Chain A
Amino acid sequence: MSATALLRAEGLRKSFGPLEVLRGIDLEVAAGERIAILGSSGSGKSTLLRCLNFMELPSAGRIFIDGERVGREGGRSDQIRYDDAELCGLRTRIGMIFQQFNLFPHMTVLGNVMEGPRTVLGRAKAEAEKTARTYLARVGLGDKADEYPSRLSGGQQQRVAIARALAMDPEILLFDEPTSSLDPELVGEVLATILDLSGEGRTMLLVTHELGFAYHFATRVLFLHDGVIYEEGTPDEILKHPRRERTQAFLSRFTSFRF
């Protein structure tokens, strides 16, 4: 394992009660990589993403950011201890976009995008506003700054959510099925926005069912099955010429999909 990886997971496991969802994930993400994570429901793809920014605490395994271990061994029975302040700091470096957008309904669009820089990063109001407007314009919603989220379409809300995550200037962006809750005609605008970001060399991990998009967007594709990385490779390798049985079975279900 190279030490230049931006993000590294070793032996990552996660159980919810008796149910073991992640059964040992080893993953390295280099800066600038764009990774698409595929898999059927229950394969653990969302859980994997949520462990990377510690929205879920791993049951076992280690995660390294920039070579530095997050959390430390401590206490009895080899339990990993996580310090809340450390996790908060970490989350300013890793941004997340949710399937349900989760915009703050009691703030305007501008307020939503400003909230991170102002409250978490402690920036001055004027500076935060400037940053927010920049990123809103970036996602094409500069004119909606003073609207409340409920007035926007799903696609627009998700784009605001992307701007909100970008405003923190994170080193890594995590997308948890960003278009799965959208009406079909709104999916395109969000995917276009995400694709647009890829030109900037940002490190991104994307859990998605949009295979065509994954093909054009990703530098690497992971196929998860039963809580482990079953197969991984370039988009060509995985999506056009999958070698292993379950990957082929999964892809064959997307019959509308032709390369």
Chain B
Amino acid sequence: MTGPSFDFGEVLGNIDLLLRGIALTLFLWILAFSFALAVGLALALARASARTWLSWPAGAYVEVFRNTPVLVQLIWFYYAFPVLTGVQMSPFTAALIGLCLNTSAYMSEIYRAGLQSIARGQWEAGRALGMRGRQALVRIVLPQAVRRMIPAFTNRGVELAKMTSIASVLSVHELMYEAKLLSTQTFLPLETFTIVAVIYLLLIYPGTLAALLLERRLSRRYAT
């Protein structure tokens, strides 16, 4: 039997399909990431709250989303949740909700760690100048905390980008879904999935590099 012949050309000829997928991937990512930033903050504040009816459910939420596989979460929102509410969601909506809630659980941890990492001395210095608690938070602690959180947020962004591929299981027409479609259409799974892997690499690697650079800049600036 002669060796396999590679036909990347045929796959690349269908690049428009893949580009459509990339567009949806990006759209899904942007929405999920933005919402997660907001939801994550709310969660972090809830967890830090002294009221147990707030902090305990928030804590449980975070544990649930971090201790179950993402695919299980997405499938639950698409197939199980509608049974409860009686409302059928589109695959995109279900995927968006699942990814957003999942990411927000990790975001809340980042917020929490970031705020805690600012040494007590900073709060005290602010108070010693006569600032009120909230002033100290906004003027002294938060600016420093946010800078520290950015690399962690960037890493989460990278993880989320990888997770968008799981939405394909719900038939969301993002990049992975288009890849599967294309590979069955062309009968070229090897070429298709290789190319799509490279596309993902090109989309995601810059994010990893950015996180690395941000971390380095951060430690240099604030090194004692």
Please determine if A and B sit in direct contact within the complex, based on CB atoms under 8 angstroms apart: no
Q: A residues within 8 Å of B by Cβ? A: none
Q: B residues within 8 Å of A by Cβ? A: none
